[in-house]
Structure 1
Amino acid sequence: MLDYETLRLVWWVLVGTLLIGFAIADGMDMGVGVLLPFLGKSDAERRVIINTVGPHWDGNQVWLITAGGAIFAAWPAVYAAAFSGFYLAMLVVLIALFFRPVGFDYRSKIADPRWRSAWDWGLFVGGLVPALIFGVAFGNILQGVPFHLDSFLKPHYGSTFIWALFGLLNPFALLAGVVSVAMLTVHGAVWLQLRTEDTIAARAKGVISWLAPTLAVLFALGGVWVYLAIDGYRIVSQPPLTALPNPLAKEVAREAGAWFAIYRNMPIAMLAPAIGLAAPLLTWALSRMNRPGFAYVTSAMTLTGIIGTAGLSMFPFIMPSSTDLTSSLTLWDAASSALTLKVMLGAVVIFLPIVLLYTLWCYRTMWGKVTVADIETRQHQAY
């Protein structure tokens, strides 16, 4: 039987896995949406692009819902603090996501070019805005979020509305947002090169040829920025890990280089940033060699490496506070009870394999290249 300490660590890994799964699956749809108005030069070509993700986007969206539910159940304190401080940002994401189901379903209902063009740009917004804001959120978390916990462990923000509007959009957070958009756009471009033919695939290959190396450079720039200019967090003292969680019972220090401590203490953790740097270049090379299947794998590795680097760098912190260091939330003191984590783990063990098998079956069943000829011969079936 897993003890409480191990359960909390297991759920840290599981939540990270869900976020990576969301980036690989639904991030692909977002990347395709970002590219839609630019790679599709005609209505038929844009329908080809949409039909590469049309049968799968709603299933892929489940990863986001599951990740949010897992955070709510496993780390309720993080859920409360994050959704309080990032409320306006999350609302913007939600509004942008509205364009996706409506755009996919309504775009082809009317043949008017203006109608279809409007929904194409709606799908663009539905892909770009969430990708950008998720990256900006990660950039702010790495810098620390301005909240504190009262004696009832309720989170408070000094100036929530003003910070939510302007404080989020600081230079480093914007860089993190650009990295997020770039990695998902590359992922979407690789998918289009894999699932389309001739002209569209060639255009997607062209995007990968410059954006994948740019992504590697931006990711390296972000690492240098963190090392030189952003102080990390370190736990000075805390209650035994077998004790009941209490975020206010620990002592936290903020110091330069703290976000790199795990790489000094556990050199194996260097695999994550190494993959984050190397995988985009491998994706670029494989795309040029017309090996989009392998390029898709290395693109997924890129997402894993970059997201994994952020998670490992902050370990064990989940949501550090910039205004009250003690209020910073970690995986040790923000977790639910041991019983809750055990019950949830049992559900994961049963249902996650079923979801994965069903998803793989869907992709296998609907696999194949999508062409303009397919769209023209299946007008009543295609998006």
Structure 2
Amino acid sequence: MTNIPLDYETMRLVWWVLLGTLLIGFAIMDGYDLGVGALLPFVGRTDEERRVLINLVGPTWEGNQVWLILGGGAIFAAWPALYAASFSGFYLAMITILLALILRPVGFKFRGKVADPRWREAWDWALFVGGFVPALIAGVAVGNVLLGVPFGLDATLRPHYEGNFFGLLSPFALLAGLVSVSMCVAHGAAVIAARCEGPVAVRARRYGRAAAATTTVLFGLGGLWVAFGMDGYVVTSVQDAAAPSNPLAKTVATQAGAWILNYGRHPWMLIAPALGLFGPLLARHAMGRGASTTAILATSASIVGIVSTAGLSLFPFLLPSSIAPDTSLTVWDASSSHLTLFVMLVATVIFLPLILAYTTWVYRVMSGPVTPDSIGRNPNAY
């Protein structure tokens, strides 16, 4: 252990930042895919227009899934207690997300196999489900984490979950889900407006401006709810950030407004909610002016702000427990060993730049407008 260059506390903090980075990467890279899917039946009015939208995301959506796999892998290896508690508690919700995501490759492949308009429209709505449902459920999951999840740990640290799928659909959780949907729709619309032409781009800007404004309003309502309408969690005992992981070695209490305490201690954190509030407004303005690149950067910034706000508000909690607060999981008591985190960090330092380089190259190759003419010249088009 003495040869590890970073101490245990720092290593845990680094992996908390990395987990947040992977989740933000997924929300930005795959978020626009989800947004395009949710917009497909509305922005595309004809079969040709819908083919344009499908071919906009078709070449890159599989690569964007890497961020989801990396996030799940990071939770499994770096935060095993979080993986066990969340993946068992949110099992049906995650299955719902996976089933919806499966509709995307199936829809891409099967839609064009039959020329019947009813066949293609059915797959168009399947692709809509594949975009709307994962965005909604992901937001609902974050909302439930802020509320506290009904799980506990026994003496051997085995988690037991006492909720059900429909119990996840509380008003605040649904509000968080709608924030996620509007965020992804605005991001997808910005990408459509940047890379498509004609009526498709015009409609995308119209829907995107509405989604951006909705994101700001819903995110603001959610912030007020968190600040004044719900209890948060605070650790009431001393936690040794360098001690071996043991979620049972602390005490936790609920407290009104606890989720905003971090912003008082560290005012620089207010950058995150500011991006979440004003990023969509900048995107709305940019889409109205036809400034496509600015709109994409603004929607990306809003995603960074919204996801970061959730993480910074919760810190140091990863998964608070609503039925047994003392068993809540925090950054300091739910991680893998010091050596495991170090070995994983070395692997991440090697492979994450490769993934970023490959992704950059793919997007550069696939850049440029997607039009009916470009689809006609491509024998591999959907």
Q: Same fold (TM over 0.5)?
A: yes
* Residue number in structure 2 paired with 1:29: 33
Question: Aligned letter for 2:135?
Answer: A
* Residue number in structure 2 paired with 1:285: 285
Question: Aligned letter for 2:275?
Answer: I
Among 9, 16, 19, the alignment partner of 2:20 is 16
Identity %: 59
Among 40, 43, 47, the alignment partner of 2:47 is 43
Query: Using the alignment, how far apart are the partners of 1:270 and 1:166 within structure 2?
Result: 33
Among 7, 28, 49, the alignment partner of 2:11 is 7
Query: Using the alignment, how far apart are the partners of 1:204 and 1:315 within structure 2?
Result: 36
Question: Aligned letter for 2:183?
Answer: M
1:329 correspondence with 2:329: yes
1:155-234 aligned at under 5 Å gives the runs: 155-158=159-162, 163-234=163-234
1:90 correspondence with 2:89: no
Query: Using the alignment, how far apart are the partners of 1:179 and 1:269 within structure 2?
Result: 20
Using the TM superposition, give the Cα deviation of residue 98 of structure 1 relative to its aligned residue in structure 2, in angstroms.
1.0
Query: Using the alignment, how far apart are the partners of 1:211 and 1:100 within structure 2?
Result: 22
**Contact 1:103 1:119 survives alignment (8 Å):** yes
**Contact 1:238 1:249 survives alignment (8 Å):** no
Q: How many residues align?
A: 378
TM-score relative to the length of structure 2:
0.97
**Contact 2:85 2:161 survives alignment (8 Å):** no
Query: Using the alignment, how far apart are the partners of 1:33 and 1:344 within structure 2?
Result: 34
| Structure 2 segments unaligned to the other structure (5+ residues) | none
Query: Using the alignment, how far apart are the partners of 2:209 and 2:366 within structure 1?
Result: 28
Question: Aligned letter for 1:382?
Answer: A
Question: Aligned letter for 2:141?
Answer: A
SS for the counterpart of 1:237 is: coil
Worse-matched range after superposition: 97-106 or 78-87: 97-106
SS for the counterpart of 2:236 is: strand
SS for the counterpart of 1:249 is: coil
Question: After superposition, what is the alpha-carbon deviation per residue over 1:174-208, rounded to whole angstroms, capped at 9, x for unaligned?
Answer: 00000000000110000100110111000000012
Query: Using the alignment, how far apart are the partners of 2:199 and 2:242 within structure 1?
Result: 60
Using the TM superposition, give the Cα deviation of residue 276 of structure 1 relative to its aligned residue in structure 2, in angstroms.
0.6
Query: Using the alignment, how far apart are the partners of 2:314 and 2:239 within structure 1?
Result: 19
**Contact 1:272 1:305 survives alignment (8 Å):** yes
Question: Aligned letter for 1:187?
Answer: H
* Residue number in structure 2 paired with 1:120: 124
1:302 correspondence with 2:298: no
* Residue number in structure 1 paired with 2:145: 141
* Residue number in structure 1 paired with 2:269: 269
Over aligned residues, Cα RMSD in angstroms?
0.9
SS for the counterpart of 2:30 is: helix
**Contact 1:44 1:375 survives alignment (8 Å):** no
Query: Using the alignment, how far apart are the partners of 1:377 and 1:4 within structure 2?
Result: 56
* Residue number in structure 1 paired with 2:58: 54
Question: After superposition, what is the alpha-carbon deviation per residue over 1:196-248, rounded to whole angstroms, capped at 9, x for unaligned?
Answer: 01110000000122221111011000000111111111111134222111000
TM-score relative to the length of structure 1:
0.97
Query: Using the alignment, how far apart are the partners of 1:328 and 1:109 within structure 2?
Result: 50
Question: Aligned letter for 1:209?
Answer: R
| Structure 1 segments unaligned to the other structure (5+ residues) | none
Question: After superposition, what is the alpha-carbon deviation per residue over 1:136-187, rounded to whole angstroms, capped at 9, x for unaligned?
Answer: 01001100001110000001123xxxx3232101000000000000000110
Question: Aligned letter for 1:249?
Answer: A
